[in-house]
Structures are given as structure tokens and as C-alpha cells.
A and B are shown apart, each in its own frame.
Chain A
Amino acid sequence: MKDNDVCIRPIRKQSHFIEYTLTFSVIIWFIILVMAPVYGILREVIRNGAGIFIDSISSPAAIHSFKLTFWITVTAIFINTIFGVMLALVFVKQDFRGKIFLEGLVDLPFAVSPVVAGFMFIMLFGPNGWLGSWFGSYNIKIIYALPGMVIATLFVTLPFVAREVMPVLAEYGIEQEEAAYILGASKWQTFWKVTLPSIKWGLVYGITLTFARSIGEFGAVLVVSGSIINKTQTATLHIHQQFTDFNYAGAFTASLILAVLSFSILIIMKCVYKRKEKGYRWA
């Protein structure tokens, strides 16, 4: 026993040194990159006093922009959760020609700059665009209106749920589902009772990412919305507008709210991971 202790100690010391250095650098890096900007916003808001904070956030334009962001986010999560799960199911369980090509296409929103994506939609849905003129003939406005903003957000958040669910589905394989069929479950029952619970954590994580991306989306939405105050201005566009109008207090308060939201998402994500790990142990 004694001998062992003697042997282990020097090694421990060494690894501690490396650990500390690593931890220290990570913390410094984290402070510079993440904490400082957050503190900056917070300080700015506090310096200007709570009055301005309340005023700037209760302006109709600000409230409208947050509402808009909220509804776009909810719609994007709803549609992309369903569509993302469907995509994952098709790609993992089905075999067809051109599958590899299509699978690559799912990642396109990651590769294309949001601004470029926005312009693609202008080309497509704009008044002179291919689909836009068709919609126009029915008096439906897509670009510079809510539908366009939702479509743009759907596009940029498309890969999240699909990409998170796919590996989980692939890992679970088909046997549990076959077992469910044989035990008399319908396809629908099998999906709800077997498939969905098994992809649950991938799905939750995908939705969290979709949420974060939706509330923060700027480029694509800016291009397709035209950023019309009280009409097509989302929270991020509102911040941008306040900033360019030298209304820093408004910009900072709105930013703080978004930052707090994002931070809550991070906390939620963390909890999800904790439970996921637990879930692996138990299931």
C-alpha cells in the first residue's frame, strides 16, 4: 500500500498542473469571449437606469418585434420538429435512389450564408420571382411579409432536428419496432410508444437548437422582411434598428433580453444533457 502511494503521487501532481493550466486558459478565454460582452450589455443597461430600460422595452415597436420573434420561433419549432423527424425517419429507415444526394442537401442551410439564403427566397418569392408572381396573382404576399420570414427561418433551422435525431434512430435500429409490430402494435402505436421515446433526447436537443437559432436569426430574415417597423421587424432586427438610430439604451435592453433568453436555453440544454446521461444509464 505504502509503495503504491509513493508511486502515484508525483504522477498526480503533474496531471494536476496540466489540468489547472487547461482550466485556467479555458476560463480566461470564456471571460474574454462570452462573459465580457454580456457584462458590457448589463453595465450599459444599469448605467442608463431602470427607467429607460422599462421605457425602451415597452415601446410598441419593441413589443411588436418580440411578439413577432416569438411567433416565428414557435412556428419554426412546430414545423421543423415534425418535418425533421419525418426526414430522419425517411433517411434512416428507407432506401431509395438519390438518398445520398438528398442527405447532403439537408446540410445546405449550414453551408449557405443566411444572407445568401434570404436572397434566394427573394428570387423565388419576390414580386417578379417564379413562385412569387403566382402567389401574387392570388394577392398573397410572401416577401416583406410574415410568410417569407417564417420560410427563411424554417430554412436556416431545417438541419437541427433532423441531424440530431438521425444518429439516435440509426443507433436504435429496427428490432424494437419489429418487436412492437409482432406484439400487435400498429405503425402509429409503434411510433408513439417505441420510436419516439427512443429518439426523445435527440429530439429535445434538436428543438433547443432550433429555438436558439430562430430567436437569434438575423441575416436571412433581414433580407426577406425588409425590416418594416411594427410590421416585419423581429427582435434582432429591432436591435439593429435601435443601434443604427443611436438609441443605444433601447438596443442594449433588447439585447439583454435576448441574451437572458439564450442563457436560459443554455441552462435548459445543460439540464437535458444531465438527464440524457442519466437516461443512458437507466434506459
Chain B
Amino acid sequence: MKIVLEHLTKIFKNLDKRIKEPVIAVSDFTFEIPDGSLIGLLGPSGCGKSTTLNLISGLEEPTEGRIYFGDKDVTDLPPEKRGVGLVFQNYALYPHMTVLENIMFPLGNLRGEDRLTKEEMRDRAVHAAELVQIEGLLERRPAEMSGGQQQRVAIARALVKSPEVLLLDEPLSNLDARLRLQTREEIRRIQRATGITTIFVTHDQEEAMSISDLIVVMKDGAVHQIAKPQDVYDDPVNLFVAKFLGTPQINVFSGEIRDGKLMIGPEAVFAVSGAEDRPVTVAVRPEGFLPAADGALSCELKRVEVMGRDTSVVFSHPALDAVQGRAIVDASLTRDLEPGAVRFSLRPEKTHLFDAESGERIRCRLTRKEEEHV
């Protein structure tokens, strides 16, 4: 089922009573979520991700805007009429019930012609448990299970009513690193197996990138970019998105376009076409650095960290917005590097320019000096 959000806005009264100003938790969110896709809602904590999920599930009413499931306007429907399954960050499994009872609980709410017998409930619960591969744990209580197992139970409980939409609020944040990796594959598998339209919330960019069909990047209630994971990474619309995605973080320099050249400090690193002279912020992905004797950018190399196939080159530069930056470079190219002066040439496709004030992306063409000569 496709989900359409139209100018969705949610304004809260401030929880802190001393502050009169309302909190805009979600602001003018418009998006059509394709049927059967897995959407990653990504943003720092407090940016309105949970609120967006709550609006879609019906737990919160929007201040403005409409929500459609398929062609049906569900904005005014209560949660139980929408057919959504919701998995909470802390799982919210009822601790006094066994796994089976937990999974069966939503089925017990069905009334009228939907009403199920005990056997039917059990069958469907077992089926849901099989889907998430916890059929061996049905008689356990939540406290007797690991975080990952609890997570699966929560997903089974959300799926047992065969909802058309599955919403997951930070499903992995309570798991340890290894389990997180495993569970996110699992979520992807379950989503593929059921074909259910799924939105999952995370503040971890790697998580979002690894399993989503589309990523929605939010900040302060506003949607900044909606695109495929690779596109968000390769083609960020603003500095916030560029900085939020990617580990190690993108390296940010302050620079300037002067006479058609991109200047970082005194050095001209690229020729620029399609943008007028102005101060800019230059962001370079770690993999955009190439050590080269005739490289355009000279930095101070601090140390080289070995990571296996690649190395992480830690450097400093006066125009850098942080104490140090990081470049990821093939190990064969860093063998001879010593702490001290080092020159990099930059890859244009890994370098993005942003307005120095607003942080908006400046679209232009960058070319290396040496390429110009050819």
C-alpha cells in the first residue's frame, strides 16, 4: 500500500511550560511512499522522526496536512482502523505475558465478524513467530530473552494482524553492534518476504543507508532530502545532509570562488564553471583525497592509521572546520608517507560546494587544473 503524506505538520506546546514558543516537531512533510518499499527516516535525535511515525500510525493527530493510505484518506481514522503495525524503540512487550500471549494479544481485540477462535489466533501467532524465527521461544517471557529476540517478538506482534504498513521506531538502537548488523538484515528479509510497506526510523546513517530503498533525511522537523541511499551520499542537497551521512565524516573547509577558481586558503584546487565568485564551504569525502606530489592542496599529515586494505590518513589544515580531517586512501599509496607536509589532489565528484551562509548546495562544475591543460 502506498502512503501519501501531504503538507504534514505537527506543532506541540512546549513541554517546558516556561517557554511559550510552540515546538514544530514536523513541518510541511510531503512525500509519496511507494507501495512495498522500505523507507529509512534518518535524522538526529529530536528532529521529529518519532512524531512522524506517530502521525502515520494515528497515535498523534496532525496540526495540518493529510495522510492517505492508497487512495483512502486516513487522517481522521483512529490507529486501530488504519491497519498499521508499530514496533517501539523499547519493544513495549507486555512483561507479564509469554511470547505467544504477546503475539496473540492484538488478535484478541478483533470483534464482530473478524473475531477469531483460540485455535485460529494461535495458528496466526505461530505463523508470525515463524516469520521472525522465534517459534522455539513461545513460552518464554520477555525478561528471559535477549534484546534481539525481544525485537523479533515485537516485530511478530506488529505483523500478526497482517497490517498494510509496518512502522519501526529506532528498532536497532537497543541492540549491541553485532546484533544490530544481524537484525537489520533480518528486517530487510522480513520486509521482502511480506512485501509490506515499511518505514523505519533511525539516527544511525549507516543503518539507514544499508537497508533502505529510499532515505528521508530530517532535521528540526523539516525534510531535507529524499533519495536513494547512494544518491543522498553522492549528491547531498545541503551541508547538513553531507555532514550527517558517511563515516568517517565529510571534511569541511572554508573556501572561496575567486576568478573562476576554487580557493582553499592560498591554493587554487579546482577550476569552477557555473558559479560566480563568492565565499563557499567546501566539503570533501574522505575517499576524495589522493596523495600526489603535485596535488593542489597542501596539508599537515599527522599520522596514518592502518585499516587493512585502506588506510586512514589523519591531517590538519588551517581552513578545516575541525582540528583534524581524515582521508581514506588505498594502502599502497600511503606506504611512504611521513608526518609532515603532504599534498593531496582532490576528486571533483567527491567534492561539494555549499553556500557559506545558508549551507545550500552550489551546483557547478569542478575541474582539476591539470585536466584543463590537457
- Report if A and B associate in a common complex: no
**Residues on B facing A (Cβ under 8 Å):** none
